[in-house]
Structure 1
């Protein structure tokens, strides 16, 4: 069972995703998390502290995902592309937290902190891809492909008909073969 702190962050993510940051209040987060407002304030003393907690969660999940990218049995590129595609979300809630942070960026004065956290996620993924590919241009291309698939995931846009992630990876492997 998740801790009260995690339940609060889960509820905050849900409210951000469903309603946007402007509609989220501490009372609404406490109610959605099933904790008292005092219980919420014990973990997060303000709405700004709650946002900072979400950014910390994003950084932690990004670091865990970067490690999973590096250790993926079928290689970093395949993992990155597969988990970026619709239906292939990375384990650990990174996609959900990332989407909530994007919604937070739309409605907060914490803009620089949000941009810094998103830049950290980008840097983690790039570094993990570079570890496998050893070519910054190929790593960036793989990241851009993953980013495009990730956008489809976030917006619910399906892949083109008669094409699959495996088709995409097969073509990408012509330019960036898997590790030996």
Structure 2
């Protein structure tokens, strides 16, 4: 009888938490099982090795990014405005998945880097359709800078409230780019 998907999700959540908190090397299968509250055998039932765990986490990232990209494409305010507004840490599943995968990319995990490049290209395509291809990277870098500066100043625990003024300044810049 198959195990409940809840255990699988708990393992993925624990893996993401460890990647974010202590990095890839410390996110061992033993540490993940302990954090998830499952036996190592329970973890291995779902993920026979660390690469299988990484693959599942990257699939989760793709799924969450796909949902976000669909919202971005449908945003009445335009893709560029949507991208800037959503470039603040909110603690969402997308934020956690994105940050965890970035920890893999930091250690040159090829598949994580490939997935990031694919997601970024989709963002760029939507932003370019909104503000033009010449300005799309400027918007992308604005959002990335907003996100990274918030992370450097306070990490995932930082409040988005203190960054709202920055968001408004960047949105005014986006309107000038559209001009």
| TM-score normalised over the length of structure 2 | 0.83
Is the 8 Å Cα contact of residues 18 and 32 (structure 2) preserved in structure 1?
Answer: yes
| Structure richer in helix, relative to its length | 2
| Shift in alpha-carbon separation, 1:23–1:162, aligned structure 2, 3 A | closer
CA contact (8 A) 2:142 2:170 kept: no
| RMSD of equivalent CA atoms | 2.6
Q: What secondary structure does 1:84 align onto?
A: coil
- 1:101 Cα offset (Å): 1.3
Counterpart in the other structure of 2:95: 95
Extract unaligned runs of 5+ from structure 1.
none
Counterpart for residue 106 of structure 1: 106
Q: Which residue of structure 2 aligns with residue 84 of structure 1?
A: 87
Q: Does 1:136 align with 2:136?
A: no
Superposed CA offset, 1:63-99 (max 9, x none): 11111111223221111001113x4x385x2221111
1:162 Cα deviation (Å)? 9.9
- Assess if the C-alpha contact under 8 Å between 2:17 and 2:100 holds in 1: yes
Show the 5 A alignment for 1:33-72.
33-72=36-75
Q: How many pairs align?
A: 171
TM-score of the aligned structures, taking structure 1 as reference length: 0.83
